[in-house]
Amino acid sequence: MRPAPRFLRRRLLPPQFAHAARVAGAATLIIAIVYTGCVIALNLVTAARLTGQTDARLRDRATEASRYGAPDVPLKDGDDDGDVDDAPLFLWLISPSGRVTRLSLDSPALPAGLRPGPGWPVTKVIGGSFFRLVARRTGSQWIVAGQSLAQNRHTQAVLLDSEIAAAPLLLVAMFLGSLTVGLKALGPVEQSRRRQLEFTADASHELRTPLSVISAEADIALASPRSAAEYRGSLSRIQGEGKRLRRIVEDLLWLARFDSQPPPPGDEPLDVATIADTCADRFRPVARVRSITITADTSTPAPALISAPPEWIDRLAGVLMDNACRYAGLDGSVRISVGVAAGRVSLAIEDSGPGIPETERPRLFDRFHRAADDGQGSGLGLAIADSIVRSTGGRWSVGRSVPLGGARMAVSWRRHQPRHLPAPSAPSWYPGDDRAGHDEARPIAQD
């Protein structure tokens, strides 16, 4: 059967699955090689151990027979020295002339010309079976003890069959486990790759629009002589698109730097109420053009302090306020508030606009995504805000504003706890002063 063409395989299998399968196959191959080596080593150790046990038993029996002399009457059915689990043990007596006398009735005949010597114990084929032989000298004769290795070989065969049967199960489990882990590990990578591709495509589209407008305005202006007012109008439109292009590029560069190596937040306390008041004052002229009313509620029962860089939180508040003013509508209302509760500080901005549909909230912080395509903005503001919130340990809360009826975007952080440092203790007396110091040291609160 011919394999499927490459282009068909690419369509049938996702790239991440094919890559994970290759990695899982390589891991399975390595495990197979290691498993084979371990099996060979285990079988060699098992064979050596079984042979050693057999040699020790034969050596003890031959030593005993040589010490007390060979029996006058051959033993029956081999000498199993009382252990019914072991193979029968046989004894032979070899004279100096090479004549072999069987000391066990059922012992098979030894090979002709067998002489004990260096290299013993040995393994010989006797009667079609492998025997292990050990010799001990008694006077001028040799007593040879032997035992069949059939049981040892059966044990080794059972062990090898078990290892062979377990190998496919182990390798299949290893492959599936590696494939599962690989797919889970590649999931975020593949998602990041897709988001990067989408981001590149969206960025190209967003950058192409102002460039196309600038190019078109320049071509029209240069096509034929025009009046000063017409030239001024073309240059104004080119300037507006240039500012938009610059804003998009600056946002892209900020996100790129932030994604590659986000700077660590500072440990100095920051008053969120001050940021909120400043943001409200900065956007009031913009809101006045659209007849939008901005109100600020920044009074809190305790200082609204968090640990974050001021420029980050200022930019976050600016993004949220800009969106609120954009969607509040003519004669609308925007409210910025700061709260302190349960050890957390919250910054909320509400508007009287149409709100954020439930279907749009999962993609609210995607780059270049706009919940309502009003032709303004690049869709990068909330992506930047989300990066700031995640880096400063904040939590989002997106819903509908109860008093105003529009969207409510809120972020909360853990409240910065001031450190209380004890004041240095005063000495009980001062040089040249006979009065004892009785004032108690007071702790100094450092914000």
Amino acid residing at 131:
F
Mean pLDDT of 312-319: 91
Domain boundaries, the chain: 1-192, 193-260, 269-420
* 256 vs 13, residue with greater confidence: 256
Contact 386, 411 (CB under 8 A): no
In this predicted structure, what is the pLDDT of residue 77? 46
In this predicted structure, what is the pLDDT of residue 205? 63
Q: Do the strands 122-126 and 129-138 form a parallel or antiparallel pair, or are they unpaired?
A: antiparallel
Q: How far apart are CA 145 and CA 148, in angstroms?
A: 11
Contact 93, 74 (CB under 8 A): no
Element (H, E) at 123: strand 122-126
In this predicted structure, what is the pLDDT of residue 83? 46
Taking the model in full, what pTM does it have?
0.50
Per the rule left: phi > 0, alpha: psi between -120 and 50, beta: everything else, 342 is left
Question: Whose structure tokens read 């320049």?
Answer: 218
In this predicted structure, what is the pLDDT of residue 161? 96
Q: Which SS3 state, helix, strand or coil, does residue 46 take?
A: helix
Mean pLDDT of 257-264: 66
Contact 232, 252 (CB under 8 A): no
In this predicted structure, what is the pLDDT of residue 435? 40
Mean pLDDT of 112-140: 90
Token digits of residue 263: 């700077």
Per the rule left: phi > 0, alpha: psi between -120 and 50, beta: everything else, 28 is alpha
Mean pLDDT of the chain: 81
- The pLDDT tens digits of the residues spanning 427-447 come to 443 344 444 333 333 333 333
Contact 104, 79 (CB under 8 A): yes
HSE-CB at 67 with a 13 A cutoff on CA atoms is 6
Token digits of residue 11: 């369509």
Q: Do the strands 122-126 and 395-400 form a parallel or antiparallel pair, or are they unpaired?
A: unpaired
Contact 296, 336 (CB under 8 A): yes
In this predicted structure, what is the pLDDT of residue 199? 66
Token digits of residue 402: 């109860």
In this predicted structure, what is the pLDDT of residue 370? 62
Q: How far apart are CA 151 and CA 156, in angstroms?
A: 9
269-420 — its CATH code? 3.30.565.10
In this predicted structure, what is the pLDDT of residue 443? 36
- The pLDDT tens digits of the residues spanning 20-38 come to 889 899 999 999 999 999 9
Q: How far apart are CA 272 and CA 250, in angstroms?
A: 25
* 249 vs 121, residue with greater confidence: 121
Mean pLDDT of 68-73: 56
The helices-and-strands tally (H runs, E runs) of the chain is 7, 14
193-260 — its CATH code? 1.10.287.130
- The pLDDT tens digits of the residues spanning 358-368 come to 888 877 877 76
In this predicted structure, what is the pLDDT of residue 86? 62
Contact 438, 430 (CB under 8 A): no
- Angle between helical axes of 381-391 and 310-327 (0-180°, round to 10): 140
Q: Provide the pLDDT confidence category of residue 198 given band limits of 50, 70 and 90.
A: low
In this predicted structure, what is the pLDDT of residue 349? 96
